[in-house]
């Protein structure tokens, strides 16, 4: 299935875009004719992405940058570099980052909290502020905040995620109230189970056979009956970045196969 969301001439930044959901999102945005910049920490991961992108897309349409989202004070330079390279301003911002480690409250220290806040909350706030003024001038913009179902239903052992994700959703909603009248939308994705490296690490299999068994067990608890693949997120996020979704604003959208139990 290849839908065309007509993102021609839009410039997107997908942070933490070298693997998993971030990578799939960047790939689908390119597939829908956007120009795309991604960042992540590892040169090796970024080089892999470059190779994959080059097979399908023109090198003029993408940029990969080594950048650690913990370094909040360098975010203005990241934006400047991308906008200079493409000669235009960012139209679509997909805020994503690796998730914080699973820990209980008394097992965390101040650095754990500082890192989680910097990577998973502050980086989204700072980047959104950096791109919004030019979106206002253009009267068009899209902010997608990739978070987790933990923003809505706190998970055991995941205090760093529970707290920072709820903050992102609150920021995203407030942002939509302040800038909705300029044709800018800001939405959060409440991510459920998705088969990525992070997912595999979290369920911590001892070998492939047990991994398969765990996957079957997890799938049984999800109304949809399976654990999603990153590509599904890429397609839905491309839709949310298109003109077809002008009226979806300030939403916290679960992509979770129905695992969240609340009505709203
Ligand atoms: N997969 C799931 O089932 C699931 C469920 C709920 C929520 N989520 C959330 O969704 C988000 C994406 O998860 P995923 O499963 O796609 O993870 P993933 O496959 O592990 O990918 C994480 C990406 O983040 C990059 N990254 C990590 N730390 C970074 C940093 N400090 N600065 C810049 N880039 C960084 C990684 O690249 P480098 O290593 O090169 O930096 C990689 O590209 C996470 O926040 C995760 O908690 C995932």
In the chain, where are the structural domains located?
A: 11-192+229-255, 194-227
Is the model's pLDDT at 205 over the cut of 80? no
Residue 212 Cα, ligand 1 centroid: separation in angstroms? Answer: 22
Place of tokens 């995941």: 158
197 lines ligand 1 (CB under 6 A): yes
Q: What are the φ and ψ backbone dihedral angles of 196, each rounded to 5 degrees?
A: -130, 180
Beta sheet of 252-255, edge-to-edge order:
62-66, 35-40, 11-15, 92-95, 141-146, 184-191, 252-255
Rounded CA separation 169/85 (Å): 31
* CA-based nearest residue to 53, from 77, 72, 70, 37: 37
pLDDT in tens, 91-118: 999 999 999 999 999 999 999 999 999 9
pLDDT tier for residue 210 given thresholds of 50, 70 and 90: confident
99 lines ligand 1 (CB under 6 A): yes
> Which residue is closest in CA terms to ligand 1's atom 37?
40
Task: Please give the share of the chain, as a percent, with pLDDT higher than 90.
Answer: 91
Cβ-based neighbour number of residue 103 at 10 Å = 16
Task: Please give the share of the chain, as a percent, with pLDDT higher than 70.
Answer: 97
For the chain, what is the mean pLDDT? 96
Rounded CA separation 94/107 (Å): 31
The superfamily (CATH) of domain 11-192+229-255 is NAD(P)-binding Rossmann-like Domain (3.40.50.720)
Instruction: Return the pLDDT at 209.
Output: 67
pLDDT in tens, 136-163: 999 999 999 999 999 999 999 999 999 9
Q: What is the pTM of this model?
A: 0.97
Rounded CA separation 237/245 (Å): 10
């Amino acid at each position: 299935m290849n839908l065309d969301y007509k993102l021609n001439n839009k410039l997107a930044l997908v942070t933490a875009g070298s693997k998993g959901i971030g990578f799939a999102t960047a790939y689908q945005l390119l597939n829908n004719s956007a120009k795309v910049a991604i960042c992540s920490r590892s040169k090796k991961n970024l080089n892999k992405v470059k190779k994959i992108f080059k097979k399908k897309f023109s090198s003029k349409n993408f940029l990969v940058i080594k950048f650690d989202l913990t370094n909040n004070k360098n975010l203005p330079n990241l934006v400047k570099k991308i906008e200079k390279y493409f000669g235009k301003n960012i139209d679509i911002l997909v805020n994503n980052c690796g998730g914080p480690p699973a820990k209980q409250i008394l097992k965390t220290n101040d650095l754990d909290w500082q890192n989680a806040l910097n990577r998973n909350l502050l980086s989204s706030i700072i980047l959104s502020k950096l791109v919004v003024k030019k979106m206002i001038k253009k009267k068009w913009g899209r902010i997608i905040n990739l978070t987790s179902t933990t923003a809505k239903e706190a998970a055991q052992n995941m205090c760093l995620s529970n707290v920072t994700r709820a903050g992102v959703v609150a920021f995203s909603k407030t942002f939509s109230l302040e800038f909705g009248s300029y044709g800018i939308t800001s939405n959060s994705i409440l991510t459920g189970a998705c088969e990525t490296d992070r997912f595999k690490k979290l369920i911590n299999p001892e070998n492939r056979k047990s991994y398969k068994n765990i996957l079957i067990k997890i799938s049984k608890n999800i109304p949809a009956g399976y654990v999603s693949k990153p590509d599904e997120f890429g397609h839905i996020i491309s839709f949310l970045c298109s003109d077809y979704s002008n009226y979806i604003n300030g939403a916290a959208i679960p992509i979770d196969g129905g695992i969240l139990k609340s009505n709203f």
